[in-house]
């Protein structure tokens, strides 16, 4: 079942507080025994994002498309493909991950995130 929800895009590079006129996929994405969950949203142009929550822990994610991870609230460290040092990421910060790769996360406190998939 798909649910229509409003969406709005800011062109000033500011964080968008809400999305209007999108489709929300009702069934959640559940990973790592429920420690990472998200819901997919689809925009009118076919682009896709997920909105989710990660509980504290260590995780490895694989990508098929380029991803832009926006941390809305939380505290984690990321080890990007090819990197040798972990990078701290917290409230309001983003990081990008190349498609067809993998990255590691060490989530230190409950983290609210938005992941944009870039074709």
Q: Considering the entire predicted model, what is its pTM?
A: 0.84
Domain total in the chain: 1
- pLDDT tens, residue by residue, 2-27: 444 333 333 334 567 889 999 999 99
118 to 35, 98, 107: CA distances (angstroms): 25, 9, 24
Predicted pLDDT at 8? 33
The pLDDT score that the predictor gives to residue 105 is 98
Percent of the chain's residues with pLDDT above 90: 82
- C-alpha to C-alpha distance for 83 and 96, rounded to whole angstroms: 13
Per the CB < 8 A criterion, the answer to whether 78 and 90 are in contact is no
Residue among 5, 89, 97 at smallest CA distance from 51: 5
pLDDT digits (tens, 9 = 90+) for 33-57: 999 999 999 999 999 999 999 999 9
CATH of the domain at 60: 2.60.120.10
Residue 32 lies in a domain: yes
Asked if residue 14 is part of any domain, the answer here is no
User: Would strands 22-25 and 66-79 be described as parallel, antiparallel, or unpaired?
Assistant: unpaired
- Residue 77 belongs to some domain of the structure: yes
Residue 13 lies in a domain: no
């Amino acid at each position: 079942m798909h649910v229509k929800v409003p969406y709005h895009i800011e062109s000033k590079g500011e964080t968008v507080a809400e999305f209007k006129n999108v489709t929300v996929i009702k069934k959640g994405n559940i990973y790592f025994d429920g420690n990472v969950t998200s819901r997919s949203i689809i925009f009118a142009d076919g682009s896709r994002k997920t909105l989710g929550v990660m509980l504290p822990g260590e995780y490895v994610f694989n990508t098929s498309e380029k991803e832009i991870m926006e941390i809305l609230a939380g505290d984690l460290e990321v080890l990007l493909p090819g990197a040798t040092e972990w990078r701290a990421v917290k409230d309001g910060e983003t990081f990008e991950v190349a498609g067809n790769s993998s990255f590691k996360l060490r989530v230190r406190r409950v983290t609210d995130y938005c992941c944009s998939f870039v074709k």
